[in-house]
Amino acid sequence: MSSLQIPDPAHPGSSRQRGASRPASASAQPSSVSIHQSSSRTQRASHQVVSSQHQVDHDVYSHPAAVAYVTAHPRWTIPKFGPYLLLQTVGEGKFGKVKLGLHSQWGEEVAVKLIRRGYIDSSVRKSKVEREIEVLRTSKHPNIVRLYDVIETDKYIGIILEYASGGELFDHILAHRYLKEKDAAKLFSQLISGVWYIHQKKIVHRLLKLENLLLDRNRNVIITNFGFANRFEHRADDLMQTHCGSPCYAAPELVISEGLYVGPAVDIWSCGVILYAMLVGYLPFDDDPNNPDGDNINLLYKYIVNTPLSFPDYVSAEARDLLSMMLVPDPTRRADLRLIMAHPWLSAYAHIFSNGVEDLERAAMEQHQMRRLAYQRQMRQVAAAQSGPSRVPRSPYETSIPVTTMDPDDDPFTSTP
């Protein structure tokens, strides 16, 4: 099998240089690493490989996530993947699972997206994985999931991502029924800023939906899942051909038209559906009595094209105006990002849109460094507390947690819950 493109360990964006997600960013020329189905050697983009003889720092087992995991699963052995402990599953897909990871030295929480090599059984899937890694590697934005590392073993390709501890935006909306307009405007501005950024980088996401928007611990949006992302040329007449996306969020032209489509316009439609769900509490165009579950895609899109957009009374006139500009079935009449960012409903967050690409990348790097320093400070405090001669152990697991380093025979999909 030919090579995947992964981050260059010599590049300043690698995790070794930076210090050390549910799922998941720096500009450089990609390096190439061959994927060998039979090699027993773990290949790494940065950190040194942790062998079975490596003595790990037991301070990490005082981390609340590790203590909670072992308390819940006292009989389970915690597998290691490179320098990361693999804890509970936080996401799942056709490719495999996403695990909460814990760096054994720094105590930093990450999301470890484990892709089974058996999943990459075709050139299309291989290209999809390569493209996702390449897009994440070249993206640095405060509201786009950050790629930390790529680890390869015989059975898995592990994509190490920023961990968004606030969960899915979908669940956040469900918990509140719908969002107040002030809160929705903040989150939506962050989403639009991230989409504007990737469009400036000539990247279109193509799978924007609530489930792919996570929240960090401060309830800021984190855009994830770039598996369907692709590049486009910065020309007004640029068209794309591959039709993809979730039906409820996908632009009508993806299904109704059998021809080509404008890439950025499909992201704008999806953003409109997301904003509608934030403000209303349910998706638009899901009330067709002839297609109540939206299972019939052709009926769904005929309904979208022929049904005027409607709103409940609690949605303001300005919010309605913005949504009416975005949820336009004809992509040639749909608002572009410039008009969206200038809309009065988003005026309180206009400062977000004043940042250029370099400003956003600088802010992302500063944010990442502050987070890294906070984790390191936390680990030093734990180590200091543990160094006292009369210290009482915080938990019985600090010196007795069973750990195994993953080798070609280990399977985190069956050995841990």
Asked if the structure places residue 209 within a domain, the reply is yes
Task: Let me know whether 175 and 292 are in one domain.
Answer: yes
Task: Let me know whether 245 and 200 are in one domain.
Answer: yes
For residue 398, what pLDDT is reported? 38
pLDDT at 98 over 90: yes
- Indicate the range of 24-38, 69-83, 218-232 predicted with least confidence: 24-38
Task: Let me know whether 145 and 222 are in one domain.
Answer: no
H-helix segments, 52-122:
64-72
Among residues 327, 354, 381, the one where a domain terminates is 354
The structure's pTM equals: 0.78
The residue that leads in pLDDT, 411 or 8, is 411
For residues 68-83, average pLDDT: 90
The residue that leads in pLDDT, 130 or 7, is 130
DSSP string, 236-268: TT--B----S-TTTS-GGGTS-SS-B-HHHHHH
Which regions of 165-259 does DSSP assign to beta strands (E)? Answer: 203-204, 213-215, 221-223, 230-231
CATH code of the domain in which 114 resides: 3.30.200.20
pLDDT at 242 over 80: no
The residue that leads in pLDDT, 385 or 365, is 365
Q: Which domain holds residue 74?
A: 4-163
For residues 337-356, average pLDDT: 96
For residue 345, what pLDDT is reported? 98
Among residues 132, 163, 194, the one where a domain terminates is 163
pLDDT at 344 over 70: yes
Task: Let me know whether 152 and 184 are in one domain.
Answer: no
For residues 216-221, average pLDDT: 93
Asked if the structure places residue 371 within a domain, the reply is no
pLDDT at 2 over 80: no
Task: Let me know whether 103 and 51 are in one domain.
Answer: yes
> Known binder of ligand: residue 201?
no
Task: Let me know whether 216 and 330 are in one domain.
Answer: yes
Asked if the structure places residue 25 within a domain, the reply is yes
Q: Are 13 and 137 within 8 A, CB to CB?
A: yes
pLDDT at 400 over 60: no
**Alpha-carbon distances of 81 from 78, 101, 214, rounded to whole Å:** 10, 9, 24
Task: Let me know whether 130 and 219 are in one domain.
Answer: no
